[in-house]
Copies of this chain bind each other. A is one copy, B any other.
Amino acid sequence: MYVILVYDVHQKRVGRMLKLCRRYLNWIQNSVFEGAISELKLKELIFEARQIMDESYDSIIIFSSRNERWLDKQVIGLEKNEIDQFL
């Protein structure tokens, strides 16, 4: 499946969340990630994210699509992840 993940977590927890998400997905902007991921891996990511989050304060939204073809992506302005693709 193909997912877009956005998080909004307290600044204290941003570093750990960023590191976690980058292990599973591609960083594309600020607190936004995308990528192809299996259902199992996504469950793993959510499980690990829950260890980091304060669920009464932080929030993660995951949009998922069974097929990447169903989603178009358009970037206006600066494409921020150009370097990230090579890491």
Residues of A within 8 A of B (CB): 4, 6, 8, 28-32, 46, 49-50, 53-67, 70-80
Contact = CB atoms under 8 A, between A and B. Distances in A.
Q: How many copies does the complex hold?
A: 2
Contact of A73 (B49, B61, B77): B61
Contacts of A80: 8, 59
Given A6-B29, A29-B8, A61-B28, A53 B74 contact: no
A71 B63 contact: yes
Nearest to A42: B74
A62 to B, nearest CB: 5
Contacts of A72: 63-65
Contact of A58 (B61, B62, B63, B78): B78
